């Protein structure tokens, strides 16, 4: 069956799939990135993994893959296929698309940014199926976002489009890793909620999931921590609504695992803030940690359809 290689390179692990044109997964595999062995070893591991996936396709699906898509973190130059910088993986100006193409015998390769490919997959085959304007927000260690328009992700002029985590929602608020103060991710990321709850309850190991559980159990201190995060998130979403007017806001990442404990107050907080804007539908992401890999595969298929029509 015709398929492409879909590969997501994360800080610690790689997730891969062989993907049919309709987005269905024909085979899945995972392995460590091996970053403790250095950047060169990471690059070798990526190339080896891709080559093995191509072999698996030939052996188990009866044909070689027709393209490959790879998602990486950090700053990337999608147009030129260069992984510009990743603090986690240590590379600078790595020509990953070219290296992969060579290793895979001249196969067409698409290089994508992990959050944007995750958003692409959620928008096309996940929680946003059938929606042509959406905002994807991932609440993890930080907060990342992707703007979906007409079946593609708008990366902006410099590749920083969708950075809702660094919208300032509390001027003069907590210091952010980016150098500003009061960015959304200092208040509503899973890490921010974990920190705030650890401070409030006195247990340094308490995390966002424990905070959600305490909210459900009726703990007023947890409710206060949670409300701070939900209010900040609602402010960020309403700002995005005013600028972009998406029909759907897809919320994923660790904090979204809290389910209705997050979504019920979040929907209320968003609708309370709207004046003239049309309310977005706020829904949980569906694809969890496979979104970036699936989106990389979709980019690979898009590459082929572009080549055919070009
Ligand atoms: Zn920031």
Q: Give the DSSP per-residue string, 179-221.
A: S-BSBTHHHHSHHHHHHHHHHHHS-TT--HHHHHHHHHTT-HH
Mean pLDDT of the region 82-105 = 95
pLDDT at residue 130, as a whole number: 87
Mean pLDDT of the region 118-147 = 95
Minimal CA–CA distance to 4: which of 306, 297, 307? 297
- Residue 143 alpha carbon to ligand 1 centre in Å: 9
* Structure token pair of residue 301: 């298929």
User: Which residues, chain by chain, have CB under 5 Å from ion ligand 1?
Assistant: 166, 176, 178, 180, 183
pLDDT at residue 308, as a whole number: 56
Mean pLDDT of the region 202-222 = 97
pLDDT at residue 310 above 50? no
Task: Please give the share of the chain, as a percent, with pLDDT higher than 70.
Answer: 99
Q: What's the pLDDT band for 307 if we cut at 50, 70, 90?
A: low
CA–CA distances in Å: residue 126 to residues 15, 43, 75, 130: 17, 30, 25, 9
- Residue 189 alpha carbon to ligand 1 centre in Å: 11
Helices 190-201 and 220-244, interaxial angle, to 10°?
160
* Structure token pair of residue 227: 């409300």
- Residue 166 alpha carbon to ligand 1 centre in Å: 4
Residue 22 DSSP symbol: T
pTM for the model stands at 0.93
- Residue 37 alpha carbon to ligand 1 centre in Å: 30
- Residue 159 alpha carbon to ligand 1 centre in Å: 16
- Residue 114 alpha carbon to ligand 1 centre in Å: 19
- Residue 185 alpha carbon to ligand 1 centre in Å: 7
Collapsing DSSP to helix, strand or coil, 300 comes out as helix
- Residue 142 alpha carbon to ligand 1 centre in Å: 9
């Amino acid at each position: 069956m015709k398929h492409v290689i879909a590969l997501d390179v994360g800080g610690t692990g790689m997730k891969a799939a062989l993907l049919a044109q309709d987005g269905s997964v024909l085979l899945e595999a995972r392995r460590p990135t091996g970053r403790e062995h250095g950047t060169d070893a990471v690059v070798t591991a990526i190339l080896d993994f891709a080559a093995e996936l191509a072999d698996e396709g030939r052996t188990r699906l009866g044909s070689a893959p027709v393209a490959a898509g790879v998602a990486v973190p950090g700053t990337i130059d999608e147009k030129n296929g260069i992984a510009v910088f990743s603090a986690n993986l240590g590379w600078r100006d790595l020509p990953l698309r070219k290296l992969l193409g060579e290793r895979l015998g001249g196969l067409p390769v698409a290089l994508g940014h992990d959050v944007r490919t995750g958003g692409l997959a959620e928008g096309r085959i996940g929680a946003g199926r059938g929606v042509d304007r959406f905002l994807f927000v991932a609440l993890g260690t930080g907060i990342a976002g992707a703007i979906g328009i007409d079946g593609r992700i708008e990366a902006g002029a410099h590749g920083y489009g969708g950075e809702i985590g660094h919208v300032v929602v509390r001027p003069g608020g907590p210091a952010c890793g980016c150098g500003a103060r009061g960015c959304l991710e200092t208040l509503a990321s899973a890490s921010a909620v974990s920190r705030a709850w650890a401070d409030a309850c006195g247990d340094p190991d308490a995390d966002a999931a424990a905070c959600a559980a305490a909210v459900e159990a009726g703990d007023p201190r947890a409710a206060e921590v949670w409300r701070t995060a939900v209010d900040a998130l609602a402010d960020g979403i309403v700002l995005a609504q005013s600028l972009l007017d998406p029909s759907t806001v897809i919320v994923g990442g660790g904090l979204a695992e809290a389910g209705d404990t997050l979504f019920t107050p979040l929907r209320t907080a968003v609708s309370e803030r709207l004046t003239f804007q049309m309310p977005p539908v706020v829904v949980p992401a569906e694809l969890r940690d496979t979104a970036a890999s699936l989106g990389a595969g979709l980019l690979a298929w898009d590459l082929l359809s572009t080549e055919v029509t070009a």
